[in-house]
Structure 1
Amino acid sequence: MKLATDYCSLMNPSSLLRLPFPRDLTEGGIAYAVRSLPHTYNRMGGSPYDRLRRIVAGVAVELAFRRHLTQNDIPFDVKGATPFTDPDRYDVSLGGHRCDVKSFLLTRREQIRRVRRDPGLLLDAPALVPSDQDAAEGHRDDDLYLFAFATALNAASPRDLQAALAAGQPIHLIHAFPKAWANPQAWTPLGRLALKSDCDSEVTLEIGGQVESREYASEKIVLKPRTRTEASTAFFSVASLHAASPPDGRIALRSPARGETYVIPQIDWGNVWVYGMDIFLTGWLPRGEFRQRARFIPSGTRVFQYSETRVKNLAVDVRDLRPLGALLEKVKEWKKTKSP
């Protein structure tokens, strides 16, 4: 499909596509985030659990976009679903053009209230693309940048976590292992992993890691108090532990091959569940045009979606993007002309 260069439609509040953010999108995001842990580059810095929540929300947005396309009979291709060894590759292709969905997670309550009341506020936000991502190899000028915002709460602090549990809300507790365990330089078996807990009650855990082929593998284990239990899977790496409920003591994992015991303090777990509200698909630009029109935003700059940017970005205001609705209609028409 040839991209028109004569678009005259301007972005306005009615151009924004508001989609629901149901629980199954969060579940899909968590499934991806856990599997991608060994390969995820933390370009934003900060807590690994903040990073995981951003990944969860980003995947949720992409899944919501695909769902919207399917429900509205808009044809799209999935060109080699993102392998977990290359999490920055594109998935959706519209009219033969690869799409890179750039999404931004809004979690501040007051900002969420304002955006839900007046989505037009998003028009003044910058559509950001990290400079290092834009400069990476493998991109074409006719690739499409699509921009979206997701509103969601999190329960990251111990107090918020307890409030979520008391309210019957879902949680997903993860301990993310350091690189030496998640992506070790020497690809050798860890031996028969042994786990033990100092907890006063039984704990159900799920080990997430990779086997010799580098395929993701997981194993659920029930730990009785102060009782050593061995895993049966031949792990070569361990990226995460998932606890079904908050442990009330330390958890230890030992690799006999490494001769190391890794101890997880009671407080060193992160709730990566994202309590989604809305997803707003805004606008798009071809990558080449975006680069021509973009201004540079240095790291450390306060913008609509971040208290400060952690990396260098290229930016075009959302109001200066092309409306997504017109593109999707064009894709529909393009498909009709190709049909026999």
Structure 2
Amino acid sequence: MIATVLLFSLWAWAGILRARATEHEPDLIAQDYSKTEEIINEILTETPGGNTPDMKKAGQPDDSAAEKRKGGATNDSATAEKKAAPASTSGPEKKNSTSGEKSSPTVTSEEAVLLKTGIDFFNSGLYEHSLKKFQELVTKYPQGTFKDSARFWLGKIQLRLYRYDDAIKEFSAVSPDSGDYPASIYYSGESCQMKGDQISSIEYYQRVYAQFPVHELADKALLNIGRLYMNQKKGPQALDSAVKLVKNYKDRDTVDDAYYLMGNIYEKDPLLKDIEIARKIYRQFIKNGSTDDRFGKSPLKKRVQEDLARIEKMYFKMEQ
């Protein structure tokens, strides 16, 4: 009788563990991983530079050279140009507009000057001076047109000054109606990542991708999620993020990073390790470089070549 009860308990506990393991199962990756290679092969046969239809329908502009992301953030100068004039303060997802039935708040010249001066100081690396200008703006115009923009920039300043908790506090003060709201969520994730809180960081990045899929930072959020999961040795979740990026944001500048991440996962992850697939991905990366500058001029190109040469030397000597 005792043996039967013990056996039943073990069976029940195993079921609980299986349920927990699959609770957050990636939706693009086959659960038994037997069809994962088919998914990757499908991606490798697609043209990485193709436009993504739903992105174009939503009016998402193409990334320009000024928005090239190799630092993980949007270009501050481009953002500054958008902020300099009242009519340009809204991003692609801004909910409240200066046109429409509701009249916009009156913008004083001093308010606009404070905003522009603060941004100029920030872009010049004068963060303490920039901080004072935005604090003055918030104090003098607590309900002004640029109150959310001021909070957003205050958050970016605190992030640059390594004051991560203060940065998160400022980003959290940005209204959901603001065009800066999606970016404030993204940078909250970056702040958490910098302070070592990977769980909260992933949660913030997931919100960006889930709530604002056409935002200019959505693909970067997915990339960061993948890298964080890779560092945690959670290959399936990391691969899921990389695959989503390649399939849904093939026109973005992060596509080379996604390919390299996929190659790394198959080369190193304990669960998904498959050197042959890693080799295919690295070779495809180099092949893409002949027709796509995002690969051909990628800062990752040399690393991919070195990784490919290393695994071919270690695992494919007979073919040489």
State TM-score, norm by structure 2. Answer: 0.23
Flag the structure with higher strand content.
1
- Highest CA radius of gyration, 1 or 2? 2
Flag the structure with higher helix content.
2
State TM-score, norm by structure 1. Answer: 0.22
Between 1 and 2, higher relative CO (CA 8 Å, sep ≥ 6) is seen in 1
